[in-house]
Amino acid sequence: MTDPVPSRVALYANNTGEPRRVALFHWSPDAGVRLELLDPEWSRVATQYYERGVELPSERRMVLPVEGPAFMRALLQPFRMSYYSLRDESR
C-alpha cells in the first residue's frame, strides 16, 4: 500500500518566537496543487518550490507541482532548514 497523499501542507517561518504559518500547499485530484501565500515576505521558499519543484535526492530529480501526490509527499521529506519547517495539516 502507498502512503496517503497529504491534501494540505503548511510552510512555517521559525525566525522568531512561535512558528508562523506563511504559506499553504493544497492538493485535490480535481484542482491539482495550488499555493496560497499568507505572508509574502516569508513565503519566498514556498514560491520557489512551486515554480522550480522540490529536490528528491533519492531519485536525483526535481518533483514539480504537476506531479500532484509525489510533489506533496516530497514537501514532507526531511529538510535541513533552520528558518522554515513544513507540516502536514491535512486533517
Which amino acid is located at 34 in the chain?
R
Average confidence (pLDDT) over 8-29: 94
Mean pLDDT of all residues belonging to the chain: 93
The pLDDT of residue 2 is: 64
Give me the residue label for grid cell 533552520. 82
Is 36 in contact with 9 (CB distance < 8 Å)? no
pTM score, two decimals? 0.91
Distance from C-alpha of 18 to C-alpha of 33, rounded to nearest angstrom:
27
Is 46 in contact with 33 (CB distance < 8 Å)? no
The pLDDT of residue 61 is: 95
Domain map of the chain by residue range? 8-80
pLDDT tens digits, 19-45: 999 999 999 999 999 999 999 999 999
